[in-house]
Amino acid sequence: MTTIGRLAGILTVALCIPFAGSASRGQEKSPRTLGTIERNDPRFDKLIAPGAMLEILAGGFDWAEGPVWVPRDGGYLLCSDIPKNSIIKWQEGKGKSVFLKPSGYTGSGDQLREPGSNGLTLDPAGRLVACDHGDRRVYRLENDGKTKTTLADRYQGKRFNSPNDLIYKSNGDLYFTDPPYGLMVKGSEDFPGRELDFCGVYRLSKDGKLTLLTKEMSRPNGLAFSPDEKTLYVANSDPKQAVWMAFEVKPDGTLGSGRIFFDATKWVATKKGLPDGMKVDRDGNLFATGPGGVLVFAADGSHLGTIATGVPTANCGWGNDGSVLYVTADKDLCRIKTLTKGRMP
């Protein structure tokens, strides 16, 4: 999501039960927490335990996005700070550090409002793959930690708008979205330099073939597969149509008909945020950032509850053993222990 999605709302802060391992041995100080937990359905208690809260791990971001857990070297989290054109590393006991800069735009000048990387994931070989706002491409970071290999940057000869979020299907195909937010320059809401007159959802097959799957959404953003990969969920970060769509995934990997999975447009005026990044757990429950925080939906579309951050919330991702949900909430990186497990990259 872009910074224009930071709509009015109220920040609430509450105390929580300390996260295991979050404090040094012998310390009794509770960690800092963010927001509250809103429970709408008894099924929510099987996902988020009573008393659980969202723990703040690190602050100081301009706009945190794209969290991905990297299991090697003891495990650590990477996330984007889009305005600072950086990928940040956070590791238990060590805190945060700059992992890669620039993470996106490599040109001269600093006129772009959102020049850095956005969504992050790992490819089947465990290499980092990023959506690059400023250079308008999807790239893979090679094992040397500095070489970027462009995977896709054009459709039919025209440069992408600014790839936003991405996910691999189990067969190795990469799906990603392409809204225009990375084109914005400081002091303007326009999109100068735009070459495509639509916002697409694409598939880059493992053999390198690029396919436009749909161009009917006004601002496609986060995306996630159902556990059986027969449904692709796509968030639409448009305040006039703040919805999550569910598309049938055909056997050949293209998309069939789409339907509105959940419509949160009525909440945009009173809660901060827009439909953005999301993840699915092993039972098909959808953890989706949107107006109010992280909204949790059952596979049938029921709104079970909300991890209510009170701030515009960009994305989330599973980490550790798959039961910890990491959340990028405006200027903070947070986590919450769940009672379920999600699909890891």
Q: How is the chain split among helix, strand and coil, in percent rounded to 5?
A: 5, 45, 50
Decide if 243 contacts 259 (C-beta within 8 A).
no
Structure tokens at 155: 């459709």
pLDDT at 13: 33
For residue 339, give Cα distances in angstroms to 70, 281, 344: 21, 10, 16
Question: Is 50 exceeded by the pLDDT of residue 17?
Answer: no
pLDDT in tens, 123-150: 999 999 999 999 999 999 999 999 999 9
Q: How many domains would you assign to the chain? A: 1
* 48 CB burial (10 A radius; 0-12, 13-18, 19+): buried
In a domain, 240, yes or no: yes
In a domain, 342, yes or no: no
In a domain, 291, yes or no: yes
Task: Count the helices and strands in the chain (H runs, E runs).
Answer: 0, 28
pTM for the complete prediction? 0.91
pLDDT at 28: 52
In a domain, 141, yes or no: yes
Q: Which of 272, 280, 276, 286 is nearest to 314 (CA)?
A: 276
Q: What angle do CA 312, 185, 136 make, to 5 degrees?
A: 85
pLDDT in tens, 221-232: 999 999 999 999
In a domain, 345, yes or no: no
In a domain, 220, yes or no: yes
Domain of 257, CATH number, reads: 2.120.10.30
Q: In which residue are the tokens 């039960």 written?
A: 17
Structure tokens at 318: 């599973």
- Cα Rg of the chain, angstroms: 19
pLDDT in tens, 70-124: 999 999 999 999 999 999 999 999 999 999 999 999 998 779 999 999 999 999 9
Q: What angle do CA 334, 94, 68 make, to 5 degrees?
A: 45
pLDDT at 88: 98
In a domain, 344, yes or no: no
Question: Is 70 exceeded by the pLDDT of residue 210?
Answer: yes
Domain around 25: 3-337
* Stronger pLDDT, 191 or 109, i.e. the higher one: 191
Question: Is 80 exceeded by the pLDDT of residue 20?
Answer: no
